[in-house]
Amino acid sequence: MEKEIELKLLLPDGIDESDLLSTLGQFSANIETSEFTLFNQYFDTPEWLLSANGIGLRVRSSDKGIEQTVKTAGKSIGGLHQRPEYNVSIDSLSPSLELFDPSIWPRDISVAELQEKIIQIFHTDFKRKAYLLRLSDGTDVELVLDKGSVSTADNSADICEIELELKSGDVAVLFDIAEKMATLAPSQLCNLSKAGRGFTLARNAIAPEPQKISSVTLSDSDDCESGFIKGLGYALSFWQKAEYRYMQTKKVTDLIDIYVGLRLTRDCVHIYSKALQCKAIEDLSRALNLRLNKWAWIEQLKSIRALRSKRGMYSKRLAQHDALVSYLRGLQDGTLNLSRPHYLITHQDNSLLQLGLSRLLVTCPWRQKSDAHTKPLKEHAEAVLQQKWQSVLAGINAEVGSMEEYLQHYEQLLSALNTDLLLGSCLDNYRRQPFLDPWSDVLEGIQELRKLNVFQTKLLDSDVEDKSELLQWSEVKKNSLLTVIELSKGVAMSMETYW
């Protein structure tokens, strides 16, 4: 068995290969080069049995021969992939499953029955230029540049990417090289393999389904280090998956998910920064704040999209005002054109930030400072949650009642609820949900107020007719929302804390 440790950078606009070679020459390494074509077939059953068990089955043919490979469920943390891999040389393009060690298969799978059922699902066909860097300290890193396509019977997509795999030695070198590559061309750190893209195409989709944000799974035995690794790994993965989806779909909903993942990542780094004190975390915390500022326009875009939605609370009213609908559509298009999300996603600042976060997860620099990372996570969670929710209760108190006042505390409440997503599952889940539900209702109400505020602001700026009538209608909506928020707030403030 081999175990891959690799990073993947997608290159939507390609890369200058002379720049790549020149950059690799900056490392004090012996470099072995090779170039060949790879044809890979991926197999599964018509019922997707292998995929359901986290198993990938591939047959690869090249001028080196034919090899069948099984990859079993591994893990991907912040773009760093680790999966057990089993390889066997064969003589044909059809897999022979009985040649693998029987112990790699789940107990409830019959290898003989599987052999009869498997069919080709998709294939990849690409040219690979490989550079094996051998450093004097014994670290070996292979960099490959792949260009080609992934295809099913009905669909296909281009491949242009760099993969970096640690063969032996210091994983930090893997990141050093990746960071250099990210400065050469627009790139995107990706946690979806070629096989993952192929299976997506085979399901007649252009990107994986959106994910719903959820709590990080923690246990009583977690310490601050393991809690941080789980939390940051989850948040960073959510962020990267949303970026990948947007680059394929260009949907506003995927842009919103990018912002959700970015905020969760920032909050995760912030709430662990005191427990895991080190310069790298401080630097990344500042970089995340700067990155969030570049995405601040998402909040307005989200409101405009909701106002335009045919299923939203404003749809019937706005349907009677074509000029206002057209104005909002222009605002949305203008916001996207000015903000250039494609550029933000593939810019080197974004790739370097994500690589820095991924590096943090595998090098654990805080261990060099103290043993504070070994503190039980429950103790840390209780202290952080107490501080966060005290601030919320001090802000959203009984005296708060206007739209402007609630809008001022939106960020504070969202941060507290994000903190629960990152820490809450290691505490009392019996009392947790009753505490959170009314506060989630308050947040939802404030989000509706934000949409209404955008509506009123943009309405005043527009030249539509019946402006006064629409403003009067929006005031009625505002007062109704405030009444509902007040009721939810009353319930929320009466709840017993769960920590």
d(CA 169, CA 94): 35
Q: Which amino acid does the sequence have at 335?
A: T
| Mean residue pLDDT across the chain | 93
Q: Which residues contact 327 (CB under 8 A, 6 or more apart)?
A: 458, 462, 463, 464
Lowest mean pLDDT among 51-60, 226-235, 306-315, 450-459: 306-315
Among 102-116, 434-448, 454-468, top mean pLDDT goes to: 434-448
Distances (CA, A) of 239 to 155, 211, 234, 246, 450: 26, 10, 9, 11, 23
pLDDT average, residue stretch 6-15: 95
Among 82-86, 153-157, 373-377, 467-471, top mean pLDDT goes to: 373-377
Residue 78 has pLDDT above 70, yes or no: no
- pLDDT digits 0-9 by tens, 277-332: 899 999 999 999 999 999 999 999 999 999 988 877 787 888 778 888 888 999 99
- pLDDT digits 0-9 by tens, 357-378: 999 999 999 999 889 999 999 9
495 three-class SS: coil
Lowest mean pLDDT among 43-47, 103-107, 232-236, 240-244: 103-107
Instruction: Provide, rounded to the nearest whole percent, the portion of the chain with pLDDT above 70.
Output: 97
Say if residues 261 and 238 touch (Cβ distance below 8 Å): yes
Band (pLDDT 50/70/90 cuts) for residue 487 is very high
Strands annotated E in 47-204: 56-62, 65-71, 75-77, 80-90, 119-135, 140-151, 156-168, 188-189
- pLDDT digits 0-9 by tens, 406-427: 999 999 999 999 999 999 999 9
Instruction: Provide, rounded to the nearest whole percent, the portion of the chain with pLDDT above 90.
Output: 81
pLDDT at residue 260, rounded to an integer? 98
Pairing verdict, β 80-90 and 65-71: antiparallel
Query: Burial level of 140, CB count in 10 A (0-12/13-18/19+)?
Result: middle
pLDDT at residue 318, rounded to an integer? 80
pLDDT at residue 439, rounded to an integer? 98
pLDDT average, residue stretch 162-180: 95
- pLDDT digits 0-9 by tens, 152-167: 989 999 999 999 999 9
Say if residues 305 and 255 touch (Cβ distance below 8 Å): no
- The two tokens of residue 207 are 């990107």
d(CA 301, CA 242): 16
- pLDDT digits 0-9 by tens, 22-64: 999 999 999 999 999 999 999 999 999 998 888 999 999 988 8
pLDDT at residue 1, rounded to an integer? 45
pLDDT average, residue stretch 456-461: 88
d(CA 497, CA 499): 6
Residue 76 has pLDDT above 70, yes or no: no
